[in-house]
């Protein structure tokens, strides 16, 4: 019988403490749903009352199988639990679980709170009892527990006991400053359990300030805690929290954890963890970390020649777990064996049947590799991938040719002496034998300048002759810009999502050191894909 280990995610609360991160309500909902699909046991949604976004999220929180928790702090000194408005707002969020942070370090009690040790202990006990009376699953987040235990073990334990005796389901040992190392975490947890607090009531919350948050969490599990807190991709204040995307595969795939513990994450869900990790990267517009354990693009890449040849004989020679268990794939630079069946499946999806022996398959893989080295990314731009393959297969008709374009961005004072900006674009295309010039500016209906890419898109779509009707039914719905690596230089990658009247949605990619150029490339691909889908072949016209 395996013991149950509980996973508590705090991406939406502690993760939001990351410098530069501020989730919208819609993003919080997306993340909560991704976490729920993964199978974590608890989702900490934020601190109701602390900011408008968190309050709004809880007001209409998405239904989840995971237990939703609201975060807050123990009642303030000198008030009763009933008269603490900060605590009231946390309870008003109506979540089944509530986690309250409280002091357990005597130094923080006397200097930060400025009260007696006993007053703080009472505040913990009363706050937890209050949650329990209201029928909530109560968690006590023991702030600075390890530092506090080092300074005054008896008092730190007293605080835990106060929460325990008041009915807290979980006492979470929090290494707030992130400075405790794995060996000490293990030792302190053992001492806490030896002092009478049962391990099945203990949780662990680690930060990565020494690069050991995952190891500290494992050390705590080894010593007996049964709840682990962390975040997706290790997001969190300063150096981040324990990375659940690293921890979960270890708990499910590696010994002694795999045979000793059971979590809420199934092996099927584990195979989706790479995608869960990417959901967060997409929301933050971050480039996924290539070297990330388990889910990084390089995690199963075998560059050394000796390694690669051994891998061909038996992958276990240089892989500690099979890549597919976490939704990842082996990368062997010298062999495109594995790539070809993948490629054929993707071509089939685009309606392009290719014989397995067709030598053009190898050529397509080469082109994809070359272009990925330049900074292209085809996973998020299926339509551009399809066009690339069509070109290699000679199945990509040319509907029109762009001869040249020019965009001007100007910022100056208008006649009312106010600074205004305006962009103007000229595009010259050749359709059949006809040359067509179009010009557009970037002002929208409200008089706002929407910038050079907008002007260019409007000019390009303004007069495409026989294709105009087809283009008119499409619109640009999203535009993602990322600075990435192209060879040794930074380049701009633009991904454009388009949509048409029939509700079809497709994505295209452009790459260039020049952002306008990258955008234009993605725009052209978007139009090209639509024309192939709707018309198949260019309209026959007599050349002028």
Measure the CA–CA gap between 40 and 34, rounded to whole angstroms. Answer: 10
Q: How far is the CB of 212 from a copy of itself (least distance, A)?
A: 4
Which residue among 135, 357, 359, 412 contacts a copy of itself (CB under 8 A)?
Answer: 412
Which of the 8 DSSP states describes residue 112?
I
Check residue 349 for interaction with a copy of itself (CB under 8 A): no
Whichever of 137 and 424 has its CB closer to a copy of itself, that residue is: 424
Check residue 178 for interaction with a copy of itself (CB under 8 A): yes
Contact 509, 392 (CB under 8 A): no
The beta strands (E) that lie in 48-190 are given as 67-73, 97-103, 137-143, 170-174
Whichever of 480 and 533 has its CB closer to a copy of itself, that residue is: 480
Q: How far is the CB of 434 from a copy of itself (least distance, A)?
A: 18
Which residue among 81, 279, 407, 527 contacts a copy of itself (CB under 8 A)?
Answer: 407
The beta strands (E) that lie in 3-76 are given as 3-4, 6-9, 42-44, 67-73
Ramachandran class of 498: left when φ > 0, alpha when ψ lies in -120 to 50, beta otherwise: beta
Check residue 350 for interaction with a copy of itself (CB under 8 A): no
Q: How far is the CB of 133 from a copy of itself (least distance, A)?
A: 26
Contact 209, 180 (CB under 8 A): no
Stretch that binds a copy of itself, among 127-135, 261-269, 289-297, 347-355 (CB under 8 A): 289-297
Stretch that binds a copy of itself, among 59-67, 329-337, 384-392, 532-540 (CB under 8 A): 329-337
Check residue 239 for interaction with a copy of itself (CB under 8 A): yes
Measure the CA–CA gap between 68 and 64, rounded to whole angstroms. Answer: 7
Check residue 439 for interaction with a copy of itself (CB under 8 A): no
Check residue 108 for interaction with a copy of itself (CB under 8 A): yes
Stretch that binds a copy of itself, among 103-111, 121-129, 350-358, 359-367 (CB under 8 A): 103-111
The packing angle between helices 382-393 and 337-349, to 10°, is: 100
Whichever of 286 and 504 has its CB closer to a copy of itself, that residue is: 286
Q: Which of residues 297-316 bind a copy of itself (CB under 8 A)?
A: 297-304, 306-307, 310, 313-314
Stretch that binds a copy of itself, among 31-39, 116-124, 270-278, 377-385 (CB under 8 A): 377-385
**b/e string for 277-298 if b means 16 or more Cβ within 10 A?**
bbbbbebbeeebbeebbbbbbe
Whichever of 483 and 539 has its CB closer to a copy of itself, that residue is: 483
Q: Which of residues 467-496 bind a copy of itself (CB under 8 A)?
A: 478-483, 485, 488-490, 492
Q: Which of residues 499-518 bind a copy of itself (CB under 8 A)?
A: 512-517
Q: How far is the CB of 112 from a copy of itself (least distance, A)?
A: 5
Q: How far is the CB of 411 from a copy of itself (least distance, A)?
A: 5
**b/e string for 343-360 if b means 16 or more Cβ within 10 A?**
bbebbeebeeebeeeeee
Q: Which of 37, 36, 46 is nearest to 15 (CA)?
A: 46
Looking only at the bridges linking them, the beta strands covering 489-500 and 505-512 are antiparallel
Sign for the CA dihedral angle at 208, 40, 292, 24 comes to: negative
Q: How far is the CB of 498 from a copy of itself (least distance, A)?
A: 15
- Which tokens sit at 479? 């535009």
Measure the CA–CA gap between 6 and 360, rounded to whole angstroms. Answer: 50
Q: Which of residues 18-57 bind a copy of itself (CB under 8 A)?
A: 18-20, 22, 24, 50-51
Measure the CA–CA gap between 38 and 250, rounded to whole angstroms. Answer: 15
Q: How far is the CB of 254 from a copy of itself (least distance, A)?
A: 7
Q: How many residues does the chain have?
A: 544
Contact 534, 524 (CB under 8 A): no
Q: Which of 430, 453, 464 is nearest to 535 (CA)?
A: 464
DSSP per-residue letters across 3-35? EE-EEEE-TTTTGGGSTT----HHHHHHHHHHH
Whichever of 63 and 487 has its CB closer to a copy of itself, that residue is: 487
Whichever of 50 and 535 has its CB closer to a copy of itself, that residue is: 50
Measure the CA–CA gap between 255 and 246, rounded to whole angstroms. Answer: 15
Check residue 285 for interaction with a copy of itself (CB under 8 A): yes
Measure the CA–CA gap between 505 and 498, rounded to whole angstroms. Answer: 6
Which residue among 55, 336, 395, 438 contacts a copy of itself (CB under 8 A)?
Answer: 336
- Cis omega (within 30 of 0) for bond into 256: yes
Whichever of 321 and 361 has its CB closer to a copy of itself, that residue is: 321
Which residue among 86, 264, 318, 346 contacts a copy of itself (CB under 8 A)?
Answer: 318
Which residue among 65, 275, 290, 505 contacts a copy of itself (CB under 8 A)?
Answer: 290
Q: Which of residues 207-226 bind a copy of itself (CB under 8 A)?
A: 208-212, 214-216, 218-219, 222
Q: Which of residues 449-468 bind a copy of itself (CB under 8 A)?
A: 449-454
Q: Which of residues 115-174 bind a copy of itself (CB under 8 A)?
A: none
Q: Which of 119, 122, 146, 131 is nearest to 95 (CA)?
A: 131
Check residue 322 for interaction with a copy of itself (CB under 8 A): no
The beta strands (E) that lie in 333-473 are given as 401-413, 419-431, 434-441
Task: Tell me the CB-side half-sphere exposure of residue 386, using CA atoms within 13 A.
Answer: 23
Q: How far is the CB of 480 from a copy of itself (least distance, A)?
A: 6
Whichever of 56 and 237 has its CB closer to a copy of itself, that residue is: 237
Whichever of 101 and 464 has its CB closer to a copy of itself, that residue is: 101
Which residue among 74, 95, 229, 243 contacts a copy of itself (CB under 8 A)?
Answer: 243
Query: Which residue do the tokens 């609360």 mark?
Result: 13
């Amino acid at each position: 019988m395996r013991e149950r280990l509980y996973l508590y995610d705090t991406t939406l609360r502690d993760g939001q403490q990351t410098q530069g991160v501020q989730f919208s309500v819609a993003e919080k909902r997306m993340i909560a749903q991704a976490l729920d699909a993964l199978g974590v046991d608890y989702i900490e949604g934020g601190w109701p009352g602390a900011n408008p976004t968190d309050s709004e999220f809880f007001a209409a929180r998405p239904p989840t199988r995971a237990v939703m928790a609201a975060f807050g702090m123990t009642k303030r000194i000198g008030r009763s639990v009933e008269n603490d408005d900060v605590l009231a707002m946390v309870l008003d969020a109506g979540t089944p679980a509530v986690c309250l942070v409280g002091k357990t370090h005597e130094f923080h009690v006397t200097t930060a709170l400025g009260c007696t040790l006993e007053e703080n202990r009472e505040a913990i006990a009363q706050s937890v009892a209050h949650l329990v009376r209201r029928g909530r699953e109560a968690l006590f987040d023991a702030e600075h527990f390890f530092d506090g235990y080092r300074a005054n073990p008896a008092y730190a334990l007293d605080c835990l006991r106060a929460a325990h005796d008041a009915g807290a389901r979980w006492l979470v040992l929090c290494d707030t400053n992130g400075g405790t190392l794995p060996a000490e975490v293990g030792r302190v947890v053992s001492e806490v359990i030896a002092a009478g607090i049962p391990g099945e009531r203990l949780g662990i919350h680690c930060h990565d300030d020494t690069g050991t948050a995952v190891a500290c969490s494992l050390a705590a599990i080894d010593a007996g805690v049964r709840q682990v807190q962390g975040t997706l991709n290790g997001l969190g204040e300063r150096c981040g929290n324990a990375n659940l995307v690293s921890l979960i595969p270890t708990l499910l795939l590696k010994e002694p954890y795999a045979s000793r513990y059971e979590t809420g994450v199934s092996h099927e869900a584990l195979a989706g963890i790479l995608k869960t990790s990417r959901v967060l990267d997409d929301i933050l517009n971050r480039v996924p970390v290539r070297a990330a354990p388990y889910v990084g693009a390089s995690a199963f890449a075998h560059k050394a020649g000796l390694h690669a040849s051994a891998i061909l004989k038996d992958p276990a020679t240089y892989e500690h777990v099979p890549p597919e268990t976490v939704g990842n794939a082996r990368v062997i630079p010298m062999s495109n064996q594995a790539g070809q069946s993948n490629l054929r499946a993707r071509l089939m999806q685009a309606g392009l049947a290719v014989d397995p022996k067709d030598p053009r398959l190898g050529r397509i893989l080469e082109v994809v590799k070359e272009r990925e080295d330049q900074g292209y990314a085809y996973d998020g731009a299926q339509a551009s991938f399809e066009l690339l393959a069509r070109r290699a297969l000679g199945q990509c008709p040319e509907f029109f040719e762009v001869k040249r374009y020019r965009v001007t961005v100007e910022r100056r004072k208008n006649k009312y002496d106010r600074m205004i900006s305006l962009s103007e674009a000229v595009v010259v295309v050749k359709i059949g034998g006809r040359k067509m010039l179009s010009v557009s500016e970037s002002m929208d209906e409200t008089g706002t300048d929407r910038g050079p890419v907008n002007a260019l898109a409007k000019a390009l779509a303004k007069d495409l002759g026989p294709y105009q009707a087809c283009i008119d039914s499409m619109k640009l719905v999203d535009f993602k810009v990322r600075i990435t690596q192209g060879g040794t230089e930074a380049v701009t990658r633009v991904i454009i999502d388009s949509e048409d009247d029939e509700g079809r949605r497709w994505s295209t990619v452009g790459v260039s050191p020049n952002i306008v150029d990258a955008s234009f490339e993605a725009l052209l691909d978007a139009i090209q894909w639509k024309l192939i889908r709707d018309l198949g072949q260019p309209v026959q016209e007599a050349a002028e």
